Amino acid sequence: MPRIALGLAYEGSGWNGWQTQPSRRTFQDVLESALEAFLGQPTTTICAGRTDSGVHALQQVVHLDTGADRREVSWVRGLNAHLPGQIAVQWARPVGADFHARFDARARTYFYILRSAPVRSPMLRGRVGWVHDALDENRMRAAATHLLGEHDFSAFRSSECQAASPVRTLSRLEIERAGEFLVLRFEANAFLHHMVRNLMGVLVAVGRGRRSSEWAAELLARRDRRLAAATFMPDGLYLAHVAYPTHPELPLLTPECALHTHLGWVCPEIAGHP
């Protein structure tokens, strides 16, 4: 049976994340409902990363098996006709039966967009994180150096995390300022449940001057979630890229291009150059 890969973008505010739930208020639920309407039969999907409630995606990747024969453009237009406005298929590609959206992924990249300003902006609600304090990005960068590499991230995983191992390799953690905005880039082989948001909680505490940069290293060593900062808000978190080095046929944008394409309107400087 042919296998199809889809690239999705979605705005996660008010949604219960990716994975199906009884509420049916998840992106997997609405995508599979659209597939049933489009194909005339139930169809299950596998995604690259199960984003949490309120988290957005610039480039989520899913695969599905189907006997239907459709043109790539028909997959895109046909499914989008059945999807709500907060989610849209960006592309579709036939792939080999050995392709797996989750297990073939070698790295995931998330961006967190954080605004530091005295007053919140209602226009950015749900799409950009916000703190009213001034943040020292140099202190945050110093803390980030302790987090890079392969570590046991038990202090940064949710109590509901189902991963067999807390060990992950964080290969990039970059922090750039653009006026009132901080753009944080996280890249790892995989992430634990709430890992990025828990890292954000620690980095923000350091940036506020409430903790030293060495606190990040102490938390890694202690491996105790109870000692770390509270889980930070999901509003500014975006799944930006999933790396498939053995599948160059997938039309994935670079993380920077994806950010520029979907979020250049927030602040032209935050996305760099496409």
> Which residues does the annotation mark as catalytic?
52
Per the structure block, which two tokens stand in for 9?
A: 């973008």
List Cβ neighbours of 176 (8 Å cut-off, separation of 6 or more).
182, 183, 184, 185
Under 8 Å between Cβ of 95 and 247: yes
- H or E segment to which residue 137 belongs: helix 137-147
β-bridge partners, 182: 114, 177
Angle, vertex CA 147, rays to CA 9 and CA 128, nearest 5: 35
Q: Residue type for 179, please?
A: G
Buried residues in 24-41 as b, exposed as e (16+ CB within 10 A): eebbbbbbbbbbeebbee
Tally Cβ neighbours within 10 Å of residue 1.
Answer: 8
Buried residues in 248-258 as b, exposed as e (16+ CB within 10 A): eebebbebbbb
